């Protein structure tokens, strides 16, 4: 796994609020660029995004920054008090993570839309068949900010039995995605999955998430 692309997550002394998109810690956190479609083809600049990840004693926090030059595709009546099944059918940012390197086919899926809607799922692939725990509860919180042609997405994932707090130097498996617009070319990935049809559920394509 050493030769896989890596996103570095620095430790922060204080916990960052999920909606604190302008916290100075983000400026010194290296980004992962989401510039290609799931197939590996280059996406236009008008659909690019990047993601930064930090961790604290309390949680893992992500900030996505997206170019939004086309109309938003979102729910007109968003629900924020519970998870939104089917969120992936509209504009959304996604984070897949497997903390146990010996079981990369067991991973967690987190999504947040520009409306602030969210979704958390526990996934296991068995012989290529996806088994989803729709009742999984992570305690995640979400935030979003839309300003002109920029969309900011925040995810805060508290440490738990399902997502245990790492140690400095630990390496997990992860991938970052963005869905924007309509059609097959709406699916962008940090690490493209290279499947014939759009599919983000390919743990073999996950990159490295390194905690420093």
CA proximity to 211, closest of 169, 164, 174, 176 = 169
CA proximity to 62, closest of 137, 163, 204 = 163
The b-or-e profile of 106-124 (16+ CB within 10 A means b, else e) is bbbbbbbbbbbbbbbbbbe
CA proximity to 162, closest of 201, 211, 108, 94 = 108
89 within domain boundaries: yes
45 within domain boundaries: yes
155-174 pLDDT, tens per residue?
Answer: 999 999 999 999 999 999 99
CA atoms in the 13 A half-sphere facing the CB of 48 = 9
Query: Residue 32: helix, strand or coil by DSSP?
Result: strand
User: Where do we find the tokens 């394509």?
Assistant: 205
User: What percent of the chain has pLDDT above 70?
Assistant: 99
Cα–Cα distance between 149 and 114 in angstroms, integer? 12
Number of domains in the chain: 1
What CATH code is carried by the domain that includes residue 125? 2.60.40.1190
Q: Would you place residue 2 in the very low, low, confident or very high pLDDT band (cuts 50, 70, 90)?
A: low
94 within domain boundaries: yes
1 within domain boundaries: no
**CB-based burial label for 57 (10 Å; 0-12, 13-18, 19+):** exposed
Q: Is the pLDDT of residue 12 over 90?
A: yes
Query: How much is the pLDDT for 1?
Result: 57
Q: Is the pLDDT of residue 140 over 90?
A: yes
Query: How much is the pLDDT for 130?
Result: 95
Sheet containing 150-158: which strands, arranged edge to edge? Answer: 32-34, 49-55, 59-67, 150-158, 141-147
CA proximity to 180, closest of 75, 73, 56 = 73
Query: How much is the pLDDT for 102?
Result: 87
Contact predicate 187/35, CB 8 Å? no
The two tokens of residue 115 are 């409306």
27-43 pLDDT, tens per residue?
Answer: 999 999 999 999 999 99
Structural domain harbouring 109: 6-211
- Taking all residues of the chain, what is their mean pLDDT, rounded to a whole number? 96
13-22 pLDDT, tens per residue?
Answer: 999 999 999 9
86-111 pLDDT, tens per residue?
Answer: 999 999 999 999 999 889 899 999 99
Cα–Cα distance between 204 and 209 in angstroms, integer? 14
How large is the average pLDDT for residues 127-144? 96
Cα–Cα distance between 78 and 92 in angstroms, integer? 13
Q: Would you place residue 4 in the very low, low, confident or very high pLDDT band (cuts 50, 70, 90)?
A: confident
Contact predicate 108/133, CB 8 Å? no
Lowest mean pLDDT among 127-131, 179-183, 184-188: 127-131
Q: Is the pLDDT of residue 134 over 90?
A: yes
158 within domain boundaries: yes
Query: How much is the pLDDT for 116?
Result: 98
């Amino acid at each position: 796994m050493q030769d896989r692309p890596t996103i570095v997550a620095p430790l922060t002394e204080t916990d960052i609020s999920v909606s604190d998109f302008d916290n100075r810690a983000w400026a010194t956190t290296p980004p992962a660029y989401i510039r290609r479609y799931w197939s590996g083809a280059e996406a236009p600049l008008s659909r690019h995004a990047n993601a930064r990840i930090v961790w604290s004693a309390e949680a893992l926090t992500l900030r996505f920054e997206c170019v939004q030059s086309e109309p938003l595709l979102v729910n007109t009546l968003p629900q924020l008090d519970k998870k939104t099944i089917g969120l992936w059918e509209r504009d959304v940012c996604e984070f897949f993570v497997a903390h146990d390197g010996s079981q990369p086919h067991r991973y967690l899926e987190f999504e947040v839309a520009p409306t602030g809607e969210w979704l958390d799922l526990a996934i296991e692939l068995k012989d290529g068949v996806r088994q989803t725990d729709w009742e999984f509860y992570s305690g995640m919180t979400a935030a979003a900010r839309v300003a002109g042609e920029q969309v900011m997405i925040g995810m805060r994932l508290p440490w738990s039995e399902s997502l245990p707090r790492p140690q400095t130097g630990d390496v997990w498996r992860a991938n970052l995605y963005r869905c924007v617009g309509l059609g097959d070319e709406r699916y962008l990935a940090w690490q493209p999955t290279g499947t014939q049809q759009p599919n983000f559920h390919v743990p073999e394509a996950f990159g490295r998430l390194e905690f420093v």
